[in-house]
Amino acid sequence: MSIPGFGAEAQVYSETGSKGLVEVAIPEGSEWRIEVPHKTILKFKVTEGVAEIFGTELPINVELQISGTKTMVYAPIIYETFKNKTVMSNESEEIVEYLSNDSVMANYINLHLVVEAMRQQVSDNNILNPTELQSGPRVLIVGNGNSGKTSLAKLLSAYAIKSDSTPVLVNLNPRDGVFSLPGSLTATPISDSLDVESANGWGFTTTSGSLFHNPKQPIVKNYGFVDVNENLDLYKYQVSKLGVTVLSRLEEDIACRNGGVIIDTPALGIKDFTVIENIVSDFEVNLIVVLGNERLMIDLKKRFKHKSALQIVKVPKSEGLVEVDEAFIRRTQEESIKEYFNGNYKTRLSPFKTDIDVNDHTIYKCVLSSDVNSALSFLPAEPSSSNLDNSILAITQLPSTHKSGRELLNTSILGYVHVSKFDDAKGKIKVLLPFPGGFPRNMLISTNIGFNE
């Protein structure tokens, strides 16, 4: 079949070596699994039928671009008269793509049905008994590394928004920047559909201004490392702080209250039980979903025996999961940092370069748990080119009139800046702000997140 207007566009692709168009028909209930390396762009459009990327339905005949991702397009339905068809311009041999009908999506849809049925009961109750308000399901997703936790969280979020619910998505994996940069722990009400074209498939926030998608509004807590075990005490502390904030939001916001919470986590096993236990109590979790790890489910059931209101279930992990290596993770992190400052091909942002005087600011650094006995402290960092160059600075919400590093534990993040160069001699720091304006005179935290422009 010919697609109007597509031929002309194909010319554009030829610059990067287009080999022409490939048409893919995705049978009902099948997945079109795609692996696109970084720096390679896959352009495609759905021409007929219904196709979703982790629950987010794709528009018909609108060209989409994805890059640096291992994802899948799922075709949930087939109508008599339609086929689920996708056209892509296959421009690189590095792109891996194949069809598979070995899908666990049915189990994931069941999980959404369960969660949505719980929300329905809660929202009905909240209308009928306004004096005894309940909260929607607080769902915790746990599992090994590479078990598809984030994909499942994405899927549950996307289906929730399709069902007119507004859950709060909590990301407790500092490796991924969800609606923020890596090193952060965030909570974001999912009030509109996700942006499948963005760097990690979540989307943009109010930091990015006018967008093709409605922006989201996260609350951002700083952790500053990508690995949970670098400073477990600080991690747990920030998780519980975030828990307080999220539960308060649920108290204030009926839409979020009915929608509940979906929590994505780093790879946790039974040896990390205290972390899981903390999360469960901090967020008042009432449904734990264990991904593809029967043993972990049984262990958790034993350990949580005393919690009668807590349900623990398992869902299988997808066969389509591919191992992602450190380099790939690192590149994805860089992409999300780049996107925070520069946007993407659809939403070009104009970051703002400026110089700040180091003496006007106090920069703190959180200590590594191995460095000091109490890992819960921030020390004033000695600014130097060696520790600041090419790193990310977190601007806290605390005005710099506060003199104690202790208070940094209880604040959240106003935004991030990138330090490209620290001039030791002049005491000037070259920074990149996400948008023009004065540099906030707030306390700064230097993170362990590095980034080269």
Q: For residues 61-120, which are near another protein according to CB under 8 A? A: 61-62, 76-77, 106-107, 109-111, 113-114, 116-117, 120
The tokens for 260 are 């509940």
Smallest separation, CB 28 to another protein (Å)? 9
- Single residue of 163, 278, 385, 387 touching another protein by CB under 8 A: 163
- The reply to whether 343 sits near another protein by the rule CB under 8 A is yes
- Single residue of 16, 101, 146, 248 touching another protein by CB under 8 A: 248
- Single residue of 153, 220, 388, 432 touching another protein by CB under 8 A: 220
Tell me how far CA of residue 165 lies from CA of 149, 191, 222, 262, in angstroms: 20, 8, 28, 12
- Single residue of 10, 60, 99, 409 touching another protein by CB under 8 A: 60
Smallest separation, CB 95 to another protein (Å)? 23
Smallest separation, CB 272 to another protein (Å)? 23
Contacts 24+ apart (CB under 8 A), 346-349: 346/197, 346/212, 347/204, 347/208, 347/211, 347/212, 349/208, 349/209, 349/434, 349/435
- Single residue of 178, 315, 363, 449 touching another protein by CB under 8 A: 315
Judge whether 420 is annotated as a binding position.
no
Strands 352-357 and 363-366: unpaired
Pick between residue 16 and residue 110 the one whose CB is nearest to another protein.
110
Pick between residue 145 and residue 436 the one whose CB is nearest to another protein.
436
Judge whether 146 is annotated as a binding position.
yes
- The reply to whether 308 sits near another protein by the rule CB under 8 A is no
User: Residue 333: CB partners within 8 Å, gap ≥ 6?
Assistant: 175, 176, 177, 182, 226, 449
Q: Is residue 260 classed as helix, strand or coil in its secondary structure?
A: coil
Site for another protein in 353-392 (CB under 8 A): none
Judge whether 151 is annotated as a binding position.
yes
- Single residue of 349, 358, 366, 432 touching another protein by CB under 8 A: 349
User: Residue 382: CB partners within 8 Å, gap ≥ 6?
Assistant: none
The CA distance from 50 to 33, in Å, is: 16
- The reply to whether 435 sits near another protein by the rule CB under 8 A is yes
Q: Within 253-325, where are the H helices?
A: 254-259, 273-282, 294-303
Judge whether 314 is annotated as a binding position.
no
- The reply to whether 205 sits near another protein by the rule CB under 8 A is yes
Within 10 A of 85 (CB to CB), how many other CB atoms are there?
A: 19
Q: Spell 86-104 as b/e; 16+ CB within 10 A means b.
A: bbbbbbbeebebeeeeebb
Pick between residue 219 and residue 366 the one whose CB is nearest to another protein.
219
The CA distance from 393 to 387, in Å, is: 11
DSSP 8-state assignment for residue 60? B
- The reply to whether 292 sits near another protein by the rule CB under 8 A is no
Site for another protein in 32-51 (CB under 8 A): 50
Dihedral Cα 407, 412, 415, 416, nearest 10 deg: 70
Listed ranges 136-144, 149-157, 319-327, 413-421: which one lies at the site for another protein (CB under 8 A): 413-421
- The reply to whether 224 sits near another protein by the rule CB under 8 A is no
Q: How far is CA 89 from the centre of its chain?
A: 28
DSSP 8-state assignment for residue 267? -
Pick between residue 219 and residue 419 the one whose CB is nearest to another protein.
219
- The reply to whether 215 sits near another protein by the rule CB under 8 A is yes
Site for another protein in 267-286 (CB under 8 A): none
Closest residue by Cα to residue 10 from 90, 73, 96:
90
Judge whether 307 is annotated as a binding position.
no
Give the number of residues in contact with another protein, rule: CB under 8 A: 83
- Angle, alpha carbons 193-196-200 (nearest 5°): 110
- The reply to whether 348 sits near another protein by the rule CB under 8 A is yes
Q: Spell 345-381 as b/e; 16+ CB within 10 A means b.
A: eebebebeeeebebeebbbbbbbebeeeeebbbbeeb
Pick between residue 95 and residue 109 the one whose CB is nearest to another protein.
109
Within 10 A of 441 (CB to CB), how many other CB atoms are there?
A: 13
Judge whether 374 is annotated as a binding position.
no
- The reply to whether 400 sits near another protein by the rule CB under 8 A is no
- The reply to whether 209 sits near another protein by the rule CB under 8 A is yes
- Single residue of 414, 420, 430, 450 touching another protein by CB under 8 A: 414
* Binding site residue list: 31, 70, 146-151
* Binding site residue list for ATP: 31, 70, 146-151
